[in-house]
């Protein structure tokens, strides 16, 4: 299949402002793809070569891509740099320069998807001495053979900026239609995806072997399971009601969620976004190899930064300093961390995800040797309001954000990839004012005036509506940013900029600048109010009105550990609103 086909589809997908049209385009693309390469097309469409958890990166810096463009187009590096400054999107820069490039060479061969994928893979695998020049050579060959439009997408893919803004679940929808003829089969694809986190694999299997083969997918060491998440609760009474009167209450630690896969002496750690973050945590690797007594296991826990002198837990920001590529050992010394485990998904060859929570926790305890830097999360069975309140107070006193409560009923299975009511988080009481923060997605921006000229005056932010897979605006936020942060906002957000509202964004307001929903920030406000202009929970309180945050303020926290679909949901906002009314 020719690469030009994919490029045409990407261009159409980028041009559409309608979500349904976007899905139809994907269905067409997948249907026209030869089945043997459907996995490659799916990975490419997500802007990658492999699923997120495979730690192979293309490793092409913007600088290297610019050198390649300059070489192939026969212009100077300075020209390319200047164009990038002006346009802000290296893909568009490549396209523009390539239109002027010299005529196709004598040996010109139209690019196929296979060639592009294989060359990109070769680029990704080059390492060590001379690898930069080798990458340059491979990339330049591709750009030379590509049409300007193809080059636009090749460049965006190599620098990690394809960003079509398509949710994984939308790809599953499109695959279900393309290969099983109906969206109704999506749950089968979804389950297979939730326990393997591998869209390409799901695509390949459904395309070549059919639905039955997907049903046989099993939880396996090495493939991260999409994490189970929690809904919010707003009072101990509500907790007891939802949990059937009795549940396990646990400390809610403010750190980074980890899913740890152990196979003999090998350990892989996956983040909540399912990236392989093993290399950042040699200390956690070591303590789990030594203290998880099962030969093979998948366990989950929260990693927190600690003060080794006092044993106190430190805020999340401290731990985030460990998120780096260089100086890992140094950061490890400077920001020591430990792991608190709370769940087991697999032990030896037994898949535990279908077992009730008390059994999983018991099995976890059996295989964990508690030590200074590895412990089980503090948990207690509670069955009355006072007990919950007491436990909650103790949690806060010990530096936690609040508590998590988990169902201990017979049906309390590990629900991969779902945010259900079997787990609830209870942070602080939502009084008349908003005391809890929310995580919102940046979807647009307004240009600043006066002191803020040249930067943004405010960001248009949205929450996630998981029913329609769209983002609903909830407020404009312009306060809480430091001067420096404010100044760097346009730069930080530049590569997410798109020329029109993204098809998944639902907004009555017109922003000056639109973004692909990707970046998540934490905000807090004075309260939730009825709003004529925002689309969050439209029609819920009043016809034609939504719910908005009044006096929103950025807390300073970029939630890079969350993807856009992990932002606060419309449903959570409605619950917070109801709670606030009481």
Binding residues for ligand AMP, rule: CB under 6 A, are 229-230, 250-253, 257, 272, 302, 342, 377, 404, 425
Kindly state the smallest distance separating residue 133's Cβ from ligand AMP, in Å.
42
Task: Identify the CA nearest to 280 among candidates 266, 270, 265.
Answer: 270
Task: Identify the CA nearest to 196 among candidates 184, 209, 205.
Answer: 205
CA dihedral 472, 477, 480, 482 (to 10 degrees): 110
Specify the residue, 162 or 341, whose C-beta has the smaller distance to ligand AMP: 341
Specify the residue, 414 or 456, whose C-beta has the smaller distance to ligand AMP: 414
Specify the residue, 97 or 342, whose C-beta has the smaller distance to ligand AMP: 342
Kindly state the smallest distance separating residue 378's Cβ from ligand AMP, in Å.
8
Kindly state the smallest distance separating residue 356's Cβ from ligand AMP, in Å.
16
Specify the residue, 26 or 304, whose C-beta has the smaller distance to ligand AMP: 304
Separation CA 427–CA 515 (nearest Å): 31
Is residue 355 within 8 Å of 280, Cβ to Cβ?
Answer: no
Kindly state the smallest distance separating residue 425's Cβ from ligand AMP, in Å.
5
| Residue in the block written with tokens 């459907």 | 38
φ, ψ dihedrals at 144, nearest 5°: -65, -40
Name every residue whose Cβ is closer than 8 Å to that of residue 276 and which is 6 or more positions away in sequence: 52, 53, 54, 55, 268, 269, 270
Specify the residue, 259 or 529, whose C-beta has the smaller distance to ligand AMP: 259
Is residue 221 within 8 Å of 298, Cβ to Cβ?
Answer: yes
Kindly state the smallest distance separating residue 292's Cβ from ligand AMP, in Å.
18
Separation CA 170–CA 42 (nearest Å): 12
Pair of tokens at residue 450: 């006066």
Specify the residue, 516 or 569, whose C-beta has the smaller distance to ligand AMP: 569
Kindly state the smallest distance separating residue 78's Cβ from ligand AMP, in Å.
45
CA 258 to chain centre: 14
**Cα diameter, the chain:** 81
Is residue 548 within 8 Å of 531, Cβ to Cβ?
Answer: yes
Helix (H) or strand (E) segment spanning residue 556: strand 553-558
Residue 119: helix, strand or coil by DSSP? helix
Specify the residue, 179 or 340, whose C-beta has the smaller distance to ligand AMP: 340
Alpha-carbon Rg for the chain in angstroms? 25
Task: Identify the CA nearest to 166 among candidates 418, 559, 417, 469.
Answer: 469
Kindly state the smallest distance separating residue 403's Cβ from ligand AMP, in Å.
8
Specify the residue, 254 or 268, whose C-beta has the smaller distance to ligand AMP: 254
Kindly state the smallest distance separating residue 450's Cβ from ligand AMP, in Å.
36
Residue 529: helix, strand or coil by DSSP? strand
Q: What is the full DSSP assignment across 217-282?
A: ----TTSPPPPPEEEE--SHHHHHHHHTT-EEEEEE-SSEEEEEEEETTEEEEE-TT--B-GGG-H
Separation CA 194–CA 338 (nearest Å): 27
Select which of 149, 152, 252, 262 is catalytic. 252
Pair of tokens at residue 161: 């900026």
Is residue 226 within 8 Å of 197, Cβ to Cβ?
Answer: yes
Is residue 533 within 8 Å of 581, Cβ to Cβ?
Answer: no
Q: Is 252 a catalytic residue?
A: yes
Separation CA 305–CA 339 (nearest Å): 9
CB-nearest residue to ligand AMP: 257
Q: What is the DSSP letter of 368?
A: B
Pair of tokens at residue 379: 């948990």
Specify the residue, 141 or 425, whose C-beta has the smaller distance to ligand AMP: 425
Residue 518: helix, strand or coil by DSSP? coil
Kindly state the smallest distance separating residue 361's Cβ from ligand AMP, in Å.
11
Helix (H) or strand (E) segment spanning residue 339: strand 337-347
Kindly state the smallest distance separating residue 66's Cβ from ligand AMP, in Å.
38
Active site residues: 252
């Amino acid at each position: 299949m020719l690469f030009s086909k994919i490029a045409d589809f990407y261009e159409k997908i980028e041009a559409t402002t309608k979500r349904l049209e976007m899905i139809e385009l994907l269905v067409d693309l997948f249907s026209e793809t030869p089945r043997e390469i459907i996995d490659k097309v799916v990975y490419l469409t997500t802007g990658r070569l492999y699923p997120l958890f495979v730690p192979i990166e293309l490793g092409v810096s913007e600088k290297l891509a610019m050198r390649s463009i300059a070489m192939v187009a026969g212009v100077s590096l300075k020209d390319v740099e200047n164009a990038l400054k002006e346009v802000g999107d290296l893909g568009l820069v490549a396209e523009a320069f390539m239109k002027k490039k010299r005529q196709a060479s004598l040996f010109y061969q139209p690019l196929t998807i296979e060639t592009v994928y294989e060359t990109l893979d070769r680029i990704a695998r080059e390492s060590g001495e001379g690898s930069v020049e080798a990458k340059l050579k491979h990339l330049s060959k591709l750009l030379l053979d590509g049409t300007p439009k193809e080059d636009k997408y090749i460049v965006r893919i190599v620098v990690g900026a394809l960003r079509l803004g398509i949710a994984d679940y939308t790809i599953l929808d499109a695959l279900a239609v393309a290969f099983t003829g109906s969206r109704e089969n999506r749950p089968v694809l979804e389950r297979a995806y939730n326990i393997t986190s591998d869209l390409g694999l799901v695509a390949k299997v459904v395309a070549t072997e059919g639905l039955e083969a997907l049903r046989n997918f099993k939880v396996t060491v090495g493939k991260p399971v999409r994490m189970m998440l929690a809904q919010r609760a707003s009072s101990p009474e509500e907790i007891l009601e939802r949990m059937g009167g009795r549940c396990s209450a646990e400390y809610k630690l403010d750190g980074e969620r980890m899913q740890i896969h152990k196979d003999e002496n090998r350990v892989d750690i996956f983040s909540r976004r399912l990236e392989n973050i093993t290399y950042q945590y040699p200390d956690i690797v070591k303590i789990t190899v030594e203290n998880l007594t099962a030969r093979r296991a998948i366990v989950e826990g929260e990693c927190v930064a600690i003060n080794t002198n006092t044993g106190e837990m430190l805020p999340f920001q401290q731990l985030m300093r460990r998120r780096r590529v260089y100086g890992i050992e140094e950061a490890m010394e400077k920001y020591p961390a430990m792991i608190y485990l709370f769940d087991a998904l697999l032990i030896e060859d037994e898949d535990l995800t279908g077992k009730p929570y008390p059994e999983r926790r018991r099995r976890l305890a059996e295989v964990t040797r508690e030590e200074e830097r590895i412990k089980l999360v503090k948990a207690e069975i509670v069955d009355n309001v006072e007990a919950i309140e007491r436990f909650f107070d103790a949690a806060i006193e010990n530096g936690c954000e609040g508590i998590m409560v988990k169902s201990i009923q017979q049906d309390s299975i590990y629900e991969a990839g779902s945010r259900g009511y079997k787990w609830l988080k209870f942070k602080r009481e939502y009084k008349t004012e908003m005391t809890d923060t929310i995580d919102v997605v940046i979807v647009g921006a307004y240009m600043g005036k006066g002191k803020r000229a040249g930067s943004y005056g405010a960001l248009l932010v949205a929450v996630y509506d998981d029913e329609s897979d769209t983002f609903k605006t909830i407020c404009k936020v312009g306060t809480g940013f430091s001067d420096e942060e404010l100044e760097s906002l346009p730069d930080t957000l530049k590569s997410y900029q798109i020329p029109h509202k993204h098809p998944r964004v639902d907004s009555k307001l017109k922003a000056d600048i639109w973004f692909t929903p990707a970046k998540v920030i934490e905000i807090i406000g004075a309260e939730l109010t009825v709003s004529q202009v925002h689309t969050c929970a439209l029609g819920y309180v009043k016809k034609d009105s939504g719910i908005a945050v009044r006096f929103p303020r950025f807390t300073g926290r970029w939630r890079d550990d969350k993807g856009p679909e992990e932002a606060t949901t419309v449903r959570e906002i409605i619950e917070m609103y109801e709670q606030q009314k009481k």
